Chain A
Amino acid sequence: MERREFVKLCMTAATAVAAAPRVLAETGGSLHTHERAQLTDRQGRPLTAHALRRQETYVFNYPYASTPCFLLRLKEPAPDGLELKPKEGSPYTWPGGVGRDHSVVAFSAICPHQLSFPSAVRSVIDYRRDKSQAAGRAGVIVCCAHGSVYDPTHGARVLGGPAPQPLTTIALEHDPRTDHLYAVGTMGIEVFDQFFSAYRKELNQYYGRGAYREPVSGKAPVETMDRYTRNRIHC
């Protein structure tokens, strides 16, 4: 099946539930469906893929109110069909980038090593357009807590450091007609349960009791990393 066709097929499905089985077929059965959410700007207006600045780090919360994801429009198209094999857990086929030039990708920003993530206060994990000293290269996602390095062009596979698995992929849908983007689920190993259990105290404080685990649905506002966090830590 052609990618274009696939996206079209998905777009004809009115709801996530209907869209999901098609994504599932495409990805070898590894999509975990979550509520479908359209990516919007801060005012809630639909975001278009071409409006994203290339190699800028954007963040949106998905699939839960408190779980941040990176949204990136890479310098180059990100090829699909890559087989990713976490150390523990089932292999899955990464669907590649979306958008007219297949360069838009999204990943959960929670580091699967020991769960560092971008918060309003700080982020030790970030996409680096310039060269990272710790990684020795540019164009990678680096977690400075213990030096894990991920490759966003190839499904956020692990390039270095102690991470046991790639960052969880956020499955995106793209409407080629409107250029709008939707998050529909995840692929790979989810670490949300561990995240909630590790940060329950802080999340309750920040979001209000229990609100941090509300599923995101309808709209998912996107921010630049500069707005999302007060302190971007690079290494």
Chain B
Amino acid sequence: MNKFSRRSFFKLSGITAAAAATTPLAACASGSDIPHAAGITGKAADLPKAKGPRVVVVGGGWSGLTMAKYLKKEHPDFDVVLIEKRGLFMSCPITNLWLADQVKLEFLDHSFLDAAKNNNYIFFNATVIDVDRKSRKVYTEQGYLKYEYLVLAPGIDYNYSAIGVTDPVDVNTLKTNYPAGFMPGSEHLSIKNKLAEFEGGVFVLTVPQGNYRCLPAPYERTCMVAAEFKKQKIKGKVLLLDGNPDITIKKDGFHHAFDELYKGIVEYQPGAIIKSVDVAGKTIKTEFDSYKFDDGAIYPRVRASRLIETLGLVKPDSPQFEANIDPFKYNVIGDEHVYVTGDARPMGFSKSGNTSNSEAHYVAKVIAAHAQGKEIPWESPHTVCFSAVMIDPLESISVDAHYKYNEKEKHFGFYDVKMVQNWSADRGQANLEWARGMYRDMFS
């Protein structure tokens, strides 16, 4: 069957034309084109009956996990279901330190079941494929759930076309052979394996333009990879191609680290906007130069999770396909029952775990208040971000910031920023404790 039309799909799945006409798709407010009424997805998911207003949270990342816990705390009447497609949580933060053997994998992995058990919500290991906002149904591959409130926290996806890689074959090779390592799981394990196998030459890392996930992380990773080069006496260099004119955050700290700790190992190239990647020839082309590499991890541009686009929720002017929400209350414009949080938001906050965590504390209160016919004042998210620059002993730098809305320019800017750019072992330890605290907040 080469042409798989909608009609034949419905025929195949045994749904009559009449049934198809009355499916939620016909009245679908999301504007997507997924035949979600077919087969099992047209049935209610096999879950306990809701004991109160059901809030469905999509995505068990830093935002969704915090959200599920605090929705229940803020309004115990809520019946909360967290839908997550992964079976095991793996933290993205601290993976750079794990690349350099500063923590074990157990430090990063956590159980979704423990989080649900400890905080009285339901964990549903499924993938969300569509939403019908009119009938308030969220569809998974295992059936649909009715919701009173829906929170979408699906995180990011990669945008390879923005670095000139559009052929699906090339995109696939790039993803497989040089994974970005900004969505946790196999990508990170592959990068760790690469490091263990690397025998010398150029190990390339890249920094995208735009509001990419975790501003300091590519620089931190550069330091950790370079530290491994030093420790393992690997001959070669870590080439960091930065699409920005300079280091985007904790600039002095990272410049010092590159110059003082990793002189001769790290080669930093600012203003290197990637125009194309010759995957077979292992060459990255920028406007004026081309760079050969032997191995590495290529971080393309970031966009909001494709789920946001699938559901027809993209903000019209968002270059990163982020969601069209009220910047203070987080609800989808015109729909006070659907919210978008975490890295899929369009506001210019730092796409970080700490930001997502503090924001979810606030948005849980917004939704709890809405359910009780109340409103609460806006609270700024909080960004606390440590970056490791050195190992044995682990030493880190940090930034701590809030945000303020600029009425005139209609966007948020950093506010109350504390930057500590001299690394210390105490900060290295605080870096680890930062993460332990966040895991406690999400899982215990």
Are the chains A and B members of one assembly? yes
Chain A residues with a Cβ under 8 A of chain B: 113-116, 122, 124, 133-134, 144-147, 162, 194, 197-198, 231, 233-235
Interface size class of B (residues with CB under 8 A): 20 to 34
Q: Is the CB of B441 within 8 A of A114?
A: yes
Q: How far is the CB of B384 from chain A (nearest CB, A)?
A: 5
- A144–B436 CA distance with the chains assembled, in angstroms: 12
In this complex, what residue of B is CB-closest to A113?
Answer: B437
In this complex, what residue of A is CB-closest to B73?
Answer: A88
0/1 string, B306-344, CB within 8 A of A gives 1:
000000000000000000000000000000000000000
Q: Is the CB of B444 within 8 A of A144?
A: no
A197/B444 contact (C-beta < 8 A), A146-B437, A233-B426, A233-B429 known: yes
Chain A residues positioned under 8 Å from B440 (CB to CB): 114-115, 198
Q: Is the CB of B420 within 8 A of A124?
A: no
Q: How far is the CB of A117 from chain B (nearest CB, A)?
A: 10
In this complex, what residue of B is CB-closest to A234?
Answer: B426
Chain B residues positioned under 8 Å from A233 (CB to CB): 426, 429-430, 433
A116-B437, A198-B440, A235-B427 are known; give 4 further A-B pairs, CB within 8 A.
Answer: A146-B382, A147-B384, A147-B400, A162-B382
The 11 listed contacts between A and B (C-beta, < 8 Å) are A116-B433, A116-B437, A133-B420, A144-B427, A144-B430, A145-B433, A146-B437, A162-B358, A162-B384, A198-B440, A233-B433
By secondary structure, the A interface counts as: loop
- A115–B433 CA distance with the chains assembled, in angstroms: 10
- Determine whether B434 belongs to the interface, using a CB cutoff of 8 Å to chain A: yes
Q: How far is the CB of B365 from chain A (nearest CB, A)?
A: 10
- A146–B354 CA distance with the chains assembled, in angstroms: 9
- Determine whether B85 belongs to the interface, using a CB cutoff of 8 Å to chain A: no
- A233–B427 CA distance with the chains assembled, in angstroms: 8
In this complex, what residue of A is CB-closest to B400?
Answer: A147
A145/B427 contact (C-beta < 8 A), A162-B358, A162-B382, A197-B444 known: no
Chain B residues positioned under 8 Å from A194 (CB to CB): 444
- A134–B436 CA distance with the chains assembled, in angstroms: 19
- A106–B118 CA distance with the chains assembled, in angstroms: 30
- A197–B420 CA distance with the chains assembled, in angstroms: 33
Q: How far is the CB of A203 from chain B (nearest CB, A)?
A: 12
Q: Is the CB of B429 within 8 A of A231?
A: yes
Residue of A115, A122, A145 with most chain B CB atoms under a 10 A cut-off? A145
Q: Identify B420's interface contact among A113, A134, A198, CB under 8 A.
A: A134
Q: How far is the CB of B255 from chain A (nearest CB, A)?
A: 20
Q: Is the CB of A197 within 8 A of B430?
A: no
Q: Is the CB of A124 within 8 A of B118?
A: no
Q: How far is the CB of B117 from chain A (nearest CB, A)?
A: 11
Q: How far is the CB of B31 from chain A (nearest CB, A)?
A: 38
Chain B residues positioned under 8 Å from A134 (CB to CB): 400, 418, 420
0/1 string, B408-444, CB within 8 A of A gives 1:
0000000000101000001101100110111011001
- A233–B428 CA distance with the chains assembled, in angstroms: 9
In this complex, what residue of B is CB-closest to A111?
Answer: B437
Q: How far is the CB of A165 from chain B (nearest CB, A)?
A: 14
Q: Is the CB of B118 within 8 A of A197?
A: yes
A146/B118 contact (C-beta < 8 A), A124-B433, A134-B420, A233-B430 known: no
Q: Is the CB of A145 within 8 A of B426?
A: no
- A235–B430 CA distance with the chains assembled, in angstroms: 8
In this complex, what residue of A is CB-closest to B435?
Answer: A145
Q: How far is the CB of B105 from chain A (nearest CB, A)?
A: 17
- A145–B420 CA distance with the chains assembled, in angstroms: 14
Chain B residues positioned under 8 Å from A116 (CB to CB): 433, 436-437
Chain B residues positioned under 8 Å from A234 (CB to CB): 426
In this complex, what residue of A is CB-closest to B425?
Answer: A233
Q: Is the CB of B429 within 8 A of A114?
A: no
Q: How far is the CB of A167 from chain B (nearest CB, A)?
A: 15
In this complex, what residue of B is CB-closest to A200?
Answer: B444
Q: Is the CB of B434 within 8 A of A145?
A: yes
Q: Is the CB of A235 within 8 A of B426?
A: yes
- A128–B149 CA distance with the chains assembled, in angstroms: 45
- A198–B429 CA distance with the chains assembled, in angstroms: 19
In this complex, what residue of A is CB-closest to B440?
Answer: A198
Chain A residues positioned under 8 Å from B382 (CB to CB): 146, 162
- A122–B433 CA distance with the chains assembled, in angstroms: 10
Q: Is the CB of B429 within 8 A of A146?
A: no
Chain A residues positioned under 8 Å from B436 (CB to CB): 116, 145
A124/B418 contact (C-beta < 8 A), A114-B438, A116-B437 known: no
Q: Is the CB of B433 within 8 A of A144?
A: yes
0/1 string, B365-383, CB within 8 A of A gives 1:
0000000000000000010
Chain A residues positioned under 8 Å from B118 (CB to CB): 197
Q: How far is the CB of A104 from chain B (nearest CB, A)?
A: 28
Query: What 10 A-B pairs are tightest by C-beta distance, nearest first?
Result: A114-B437, A144-B430, A198-B444, A145-B433, A124-B433, A145-B437, A233-B426, A198-B440, A233-B429, A114-B441
Q: Identify B429's interface contact among A122, A147, A162, CB under 8 A.
A: A122
In this complex, what residue of A is CB-closest to B427?
Answer: A235
Q: How far is the CB of A174 from chain B (nearest CB, A)?
A: 34
- A146–B426 CA distance with the chains assembled, in angstroms: 13
Chain A residues positioned under 8 Å from B354 (CB to CB): 146
Q: How far is the CB of A175 from chain B (nearest CB, A)?
A: 38
Chain A residues positioned under 8 Å from B418 (CB to CB): 134, 147
Chain A residues positioned under 8 Å from B384 (CB to CB): 146-147, 162
Q: Identify B426's interface contact among A113, A114, A144, CB under 8 A.
A: A144
